[in-house]
């Protein structure tokens, strides 16, 4: 399955790379902080045409046009056509295409592709995690020697205070932090040992589905900030870490 998914996701990356004059193809969804471009829609439409035939009977659960179906039943593709749309619109070149395939609510395959760096992260449940075909592993660094990533739950401003409180607690225990603006890539950064931890108070299934499988297959740990499993059908908080920092969450005021 991964061998069939990967060329399709790479081809979708060409749509991202071909983008030009992006601001004039951009529209506000709910506010100036919540944008969609014609490229998000083009990538999603491309994936919606190409992916479902790989798993007959599957549903397509995409960010821009979600089918009215439960991604926790049967085969389901869970897709963020462009994760990091704000970066994309602003030419910051830190965005990715995120595709997961779940069966009865269990993540089976995950692919996250950064077309700018030509980095393709992939994982199969029980089969390990890879970057451009080479095995990856979370780092062994403790937080005191580490850098953490975070997201600011931009569409849920009510999480501003807890986000900043948690960031401060982690910053005091670490070397530094990053807010890079594409959650799927933030998760892959933990998976391949570039960062030690990541958190965000509110993410959608298409942001975290593929990246969470890639982290666990890379030997890392993912949960909600309450310590529970990530549901696939709903928004939730996300905490991801390497193994040595797994228990840091218990020491924090969340
Ligand atoms: C967003 C990015 C961002 C995160 C937001 C997400 P989008 O996805 O992953 O880093 O902070 O919570 O919604 O809207 O660019 O696909
Ligand atoms: Ca996203
Ligand atoms: Ca998106």
Q: Sorting pLDDT into bands at 50, 70 and 90, what band is 113?
A: very high
CA 142–ligand 2 middle distance (angstroms): 28
Pocket probe for ligand 1: among 16, 30, 83, the residue whose CB has the most ligand atoms within 8 Å is 83
Q: DSSP for the chain?
A: -HHHHHHHHHHHHHHHHT--SGGGGEEEEEETTEEEEHHHHHHHHHHHHHSGGGSTT-EEEESSS--SS-TTSSEEEEEEEEE-HHHHHTT----EEEEEEEETTEEEEEEEEETTTTEEEEEETTS-EEETTEE-------GGG-EEEE---TT-GGGHHHHHHHHHHHHHHSSEEE--S-HHHHHHHHHTTS-SEEEEEEE-HHHHHHHHHHHHHTT-EEE-TTSPPPPSSS-EEEEEE-STTTTHHHHS--
- pLDDT, residue 66, reads 73
Residue identified by tokens 């994760």 is 83
Residue 46 pLDDT more than 90?
A: yes
Summary mean pLDDT of the chain:
96
Query: pLDDT tens digits, residue range 62-101?
Result: 999 876 778 888 999 999 999 999 999 999 999 999 999 9
Query: pLDDT tens digits, residue range 174-191?
Result: 999 999 999 999 999 999
DSSP 8-state secondary structure symbol assigned to residue 18: T
Query: pLDDT tens digits, residue range 231-247?
Result: 988 999 999 999 999 99
Query: pLDDT tens digits, residue range 151-178?
Result: 999 888 899 999 999 999 999 999 999 9
Q: Sorting pLDDT into bands at 50, 70 and 90, what band is 28?
A: very high
Residue 34 pLDDT more than 90?
A: no
CA 151–ligand 1 middle distance (angstroms): 8
Q: How many whole angstroms separate alpha carbon 223 and alpha carbon 202?
A: 12
Mean pLDDT, rounded, for 190-194:
98
pTM of the model: 0.97
- pLDDT, residue 67, reads 66
CA 63–ligand 2 middle distance (angstroms): 8
- Nearest CA-CA partner of 62 in 14, 97, 105: 97
Contact 208, 186 (CB under 8 A): no
Instruction: Count the residues in the chain.
Output: 254
Residue 137 pLDDT more than 80?
A: yes
Contact 188, 121 (CB under 8 A): yes
- pLDDT, residue 241, reads 98
Q: How many whole angstroms separate alpha carbon 70 and alpha carbon 105?
A: 9
Query: pLDDT tens digits, residue range 196-238?
Result: 999 999 999 999 999 999 999 999 999 999 999 999 889 999 9
């Amino acid at each position: 399955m991964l061998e069939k998914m990967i060329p399709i996701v790479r081809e979708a990356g060409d749509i991202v790379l071909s983008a030009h004059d992006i601001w004039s193809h951009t529209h506000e969804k709910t506010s100036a902080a919540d944008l969609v471009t014609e490229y998000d829609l083009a990538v999603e439409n491309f994936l919606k045409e190409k992916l479902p035939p790989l798993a007959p009977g599957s549903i397509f659960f995409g960010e821009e046009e979600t089918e009215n179906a439960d991604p926790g039943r049967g085969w389901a593709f869970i897709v963020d056509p462009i994760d990091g749309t704000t970066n994309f619109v602003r030419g910051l070149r830190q965005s990715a295409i995120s595709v997961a395939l779940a069966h009865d609510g269990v993540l089976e395959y995950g692919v996250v592709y950064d077309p700018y760096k030509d980095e393709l992260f992939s994982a199969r449940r029980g089969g390990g995690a890879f970057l451009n075909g080479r095995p990856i592993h979370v780092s062994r660094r403790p937080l005191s020697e580490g850098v953490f990533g975070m997201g600011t739950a931009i569409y849920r401003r009510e999480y501003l205070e807890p986000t900043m409180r948690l960031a401060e607690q982690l910053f005091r225990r670490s070397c530094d932090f990053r807010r890079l603006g594409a959650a799927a890539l933030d998760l892959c950064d933990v998976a391949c040992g570039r960062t030690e931890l990541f958190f965000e108070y509110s993410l959608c299934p298409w942001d975290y589905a593929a990246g969470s499988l890639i982290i666990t297959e890379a030997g890392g740990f993912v949960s909600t900030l309450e310590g529970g499993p990530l549901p696939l059908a709903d928004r939730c908080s996300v905490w991801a870490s390497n193994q040595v920092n797994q228990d840091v969450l218990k020491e924090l005021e969340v």
